[in-house]
Every structure is written in structure tokens, then in C-alpha cells.
Structure 1
């Protein structure tokens, strides 16, 4: 029997022999083509990360005193404590050469604020110890605001046989003036002043410790004292 291949069989045999070599080459080319967009995407991400780092990379965190001064500049006056007072005052009025006498007792609620003038705090009041990472602050005295009288909630007790409108107005004005004076004296009470100073120190500690931590100084110690107070020992 003749084993020679007919012309029609030859191409089929050659195709089956070349297929294992051609298919891998085509798959490699396809893989390379499909990988191009991903490579470009990764390259763009790399460039974006590089430029972001250049733009926002942390530099020298600067001077802690300057950071503290900036924190103070954001608040000109800082209210650190408030007290609710209730002055009890009395005034008298005399009419018709003393023939008509009247008296008024008043309880007038008053609110007093204790503030710090932060515009007085400059670099001369701050010092930084790099070794112990401690910021020392010397504060000006606490200021007491003018009492805010709540006359709408005032209580009055009037005495007299007959009290005219003019006499009543005068008694009220006199009691308002006396209540304001008494509220100022009560606000200067050593107990209230000490509470205000303690609140001021705590407020300043928070106002400085947090900005310094955000600025990159980490956990720092903030020592706060007032003019005339001795510096605390470590």
C-alpha cells in the first residue's frame, strides 16, 4: 500500500505541527498589549504620589514659641470663668422735708466674667526648654468685667406710707448703682479670684498643648503661672 501523502493532506499536517509554537507567541503579544494601560496607570499613580510628597512633605516644624504666639493671636480676650452673684442692697428716699420716708430693698442678680487679655502675651512671657520639652508661660493678671445686672429678675421690697413714681424711680436707680458696686466687691473675693486663676491656667494649657501637638511637637509639658507667682519646680 502506498504511504505517500496526497497534496490535500500536507497542509493539514503542517498546520497541526505549527500550532503549538504560534499560539504561545500570540498569547504573549496579547498579554503585553493588555498590560500597557495598567503600567501607564501605575506610573501615573507614582508620579502623583511623588508630586504630593513634594507639595505636602513635612518640613521643619518651626519655633514652638511662634506656634504658641499664633495660638494666642486667634483670641484677643479669653473668658476663663464666670460667677453668678446676688447682691442685696437697700436705699432710702425722703420727701417733703422728711415728712415722707420710703425704703427699698433689692436683690439684683449679676453676672461677672473673668478674662485674660491675650494681646499682652508676647515672646517675653514665653520660654521653651528643648531638653525637657517644656513651655513656660507667664500670664498677666485676670481681669474682672463690669457686672451685668439682670434687673428683669430683680426682687424688690418697698417700705413707706406712700411712694410716688419719682421716689420709686430714684430708689431703683440708687439700688442699681449700689448693686453694681457690691457685685464688683464680691467678684474680687479671694475664693472667686483663685477659681478664676485655676480656670485660666487650665484654659491656657489646653490652648497651647493642642496646637503644639498638632504642629508636630508631640506630648509637651506646659507650665502656666501668673505675674508674681514663683515658677513651679520640676
Structure 2
């Protein structure tokens, strides 16, 4: 039988959890209040309208007039003939002249009518004008020549070189229109335009935006 005059005290092991719960309670309430304040602040300051994505894209285009998206190094092989003194003196020259071709997009032609924004899919569709193929840049300093003839005068050699230059330029233009090179250039253009537009859209708040690029048919 317990003594009524004896007062019992909880052991340290029994009181420790209760004290821990009591001491953590204010901190728990503080963290909940802090989280709630942060949430409402985010809701308050978050803009409902992130702006016009088409205008954002057009601003990105305004900074560039023409964009070079692809370059091809070609090596036309051409030959020309020269005949002088009523056909008594004939000469021939074969030339391999390296040429560079640039494929560009005229961004000045890209207006709002070529952009479409799908808000539900967060997708920007861009329709580009056809690629522009530059005039071949012939590197005649690296050209290789093979000449054939008993005697080739200075005038004949100059004519052969001019003719080969003209032929090499025409051949480079034809090679640049090769479907394989055109497809490579279009793919490079798609990647370049998508990258150039994705960054401004992300900065404007469209973090999940996608860019789809097509060309005029």
C-alpha cells in the first residue's frame, strides 16, 4: 500500500520525451508559419501573365539579320582548253580549286505571321524562309593545277586559269544544291533557331517551352 504522504516524481527517462515534445513545438509552429508565408508570398509575386512569347521571339530575331547555319568545303575539279595559231598550239589545264559555301537564313523575313504559339502544349512553331546559298568563295591560293601542252604562253595560261575559275564556281554552285548538303544545312538551321529561341523563352518564364522549326515548301 502506497504512503499517502509520499510524493512520487517521474524518472528522468519518463520526462525526457515530454520535454522534447514541448521544446520542439514552438519550432514546428514557426516552420509551418514560415512555409505558409513563403507560399503566399510566391503566389503574390508570381506574375499571371508572362508576356507575349511571340514578341519575345521576335526580339531575339531582331538582333540578327542573316544567320549562317552551315558551311561546306568543296573541291571542284575542272579543266579547260586553249588553242592558238590556227590550232597548231594546243594546251590544257586541269584544276582542283577549294571552295567554301555558306548556307544562311534571312531572319529579316521572319515576322509574327511565321510564328505560332500553342499555350496548352507550350510549343512555339517557327516557319522559316528557304535557305540562301552564298556565292562560292574560291581559295585559289590552295588550288592545284596540271597543265598539258608543248608550249603555253603567258596569255594562254591566264585564259586557262580564268576559264577554270569560272567553271569551278559554277560547279561549286551545283554541288552546293546537292540534297544531302541541303538536308544537313536545314537540320543545322533547325537546331540553331531552336536554341536561339529557347533561351529567351526560358528567361521570360516559359521554362518548359519547346520550339519546332519548319521551312517553306
Q: Which runs of 5 or more residues in structure 1 are unaligned?
A: 1-56, 229-234
Q: Distance in 2 between the 1:101 and 1:129 partners? A: 68
TM-score by length of 2: 0.77
* SS at structure 2 position matched to 1:185: helix
**Structure-2 separation of matches of 1:180 and 1:214:** 44
- Give SS of 2:151's match: coil
1:64 aligned residue: 53
Q: Which digits, 9 at most, give the CA deviation of each residue in 1:84-103, with x for residues without a partner?
A: 00000000001111110000
1:162 matched to 2:148: no
Correspondent of 2:100 among 103, 107, 111? 111
After superposition, the C-alpha distances for 1:175-204 in whole angstroms (9 at most, x for unaligned) are 000000000000000000000000000000
The 5 Å alignment of 1:1-234 reads 60-228=49-217
The number of equivalent residue pairs is 172
Report the CA distance between 1:62 and its aligned residue: 1.5
SS at match of 2:204: helix
The CA deviation at 1:219 is 1.7
Question: Aligned equivalents of 2:146 and 2:81: distance in 1?
Answer: 12
Determine the C-alpha separation between the residues in 1 that align with 2:54 and 2:140.
45
- The superposition leaves residues 6-57 of structure 1 with CA deviations (integer Å, 9 ceiling, x where unpaired) of xxxxxxxxxxxxxxxxxxxxxxxxxxxxxxxxxxxxxxxxxxxxxxxxxxx8
1:87 and 1:158 map into 2 onto residues whose CA distance is 17
Which has the larger Rg? 1
For structure 2, the 5+ residue unaligned runs are 1-44
Quote the offset at 1:218 in angstroms: 1.0
Offset, 1:61: 3.1
Shift of 1:105: 0.2
Which 4+ runs in 1 deviate beyond 4 A?
57-60
Query: What is the SS of the residue equivalent to 1:62?
Result: coil
Give TM-score scaled by structure 1 length.
0.72
Task: Report SS of the residue matched to 2:205.
Answer: helix
